[in-house]
Amino acid sequence: MPDSDRDRSPWHIVWTYVRAYWHWPVLLVMGIYVYQQYMPSIELAAEGRPAPTVAAETLEGDRFRLEDHRGEVVVVNVWATWCPPCRVEMPGFVDLQREFEDAGVQFVGIAVDRGGAEAVRPFVEEKGVNFPQIVDPGLAARHFPGEAVPRTYLIDKQGRIRYEHSGVILKWALDDALERLVREGQ
């Protein structure tokens, strides 16, 4: 077999690419590891400010009052169906609500979609969202103001906002913060 035919064999081509690009997957895995190990965890405020008085109707037609959840840790997520980062973090919130439900943690979403319940309901059903959803842009603007979505607020058992974050929040970081808030006062 002449050298030119050997150089065109499929195995030779594959081996050439493996030798040239082997380091990219290794660097990717190393980067993910370093990010998870050294990314700062959520820093909870020592005192926090009082959470607002929130009372609104949920997507299911129930009444949600934030003060009814005193003694529980509450996660408020301001989001929208048109927001890609919101869509990314929602499955993590669904998982965390399931994991922490018996530990006294309650998630609540405040959707700021202008399309109202008609825009939000299909997304909530498709994603299997297992916590109350309030569809009220005005409520979010009055009680949890900010320009960006998503916004996430952690409220402790005494009703104080101990952490607020604009942008995607990672499930593992939120998991750690929830464990710390649940343990407080036990």
Q: Could you read off the pLDDT of 141-150 as tens digits, one per residue?
A: 999 998 899 9
The sign of the CA dihedral 29, 24, 38, 47 is: negative
- 68, 145: one domain: yes
Q: Tokens 């380091």 correspond to what residue?
A: 23
Domain range for 9: 3-38
Tell me if 33 is assigned to some domain. Answer: yes
Q: Are residues 13 and 84 in the same domain?
A: no
State the pTM of this model: 0.78
Asked, for residue 43, whether it belongs to a domain, the answer is: no
CA dist 111 and 9 (Å) reads 57
Decide if 20 is inside a domain.
Answer: yes
Q: Is the pLDDT of residue 98 over 90?
A: yes
SS3 153: strand
Number of folded domains in the chain? 2
Of all residues in the chain, the percent with pLDDT exceeding 90 is 65
Whether residues 149 and 175 share a domain: the answer is yes
Same domain, 53 and 17: no
One domain for residues 89 and 56: yes
